[in-house]
Amino acid sequence: MNDYFNITLDGDRLRAISSIGLAHLGDAVYELLVRAWLCAHGKATGRGLHRAAVELVRAQAQARRGERILPLLTEEELAVYRRGRNAHVNTVPHSASRSDYLKATALECLFGWLYLRGERERINRLFAIMMEEDDHAA
């Protein structure tokens, strides 16, 4: 049986996944991290918890937080980020600018790629940096 919580794919298998596919997974990884962060910090309860999660996962928030980690990315990670940013997206939500949506897609692509490489520690390190401003307010 495969352990999809702890999956690790090699380079060839990762390259075969489209940037949209990586972003699809990365979206779920990011959302799980946000939900865990909100619960761990007691930020909200009930309906407020959902609103707080939506606020943190929307494209504008992802784009802004993603910019915090850009200087810390390796060349390989930057290449994956750019691959996601250059993905061909057909629709952009009304609540997001095209620029923010592409930056959010890039971040999700990176998180999906890191997850499939088995780099949980790296994901956690980058996510913690992205959330630092809010940690100090907690």
Active-site positions read: 27
* Contacts with 116 (C-beta within 8 Å, 6 or more apart), sequence order: 7, 8, 9, 13, 14, 17, 22, 25
- The 3-state DSSP class for residue 58 equals coil
What angle is formed at CA 68 by the lines to CA 107 and CA 28, rounded to 5 degrees?
A: 30
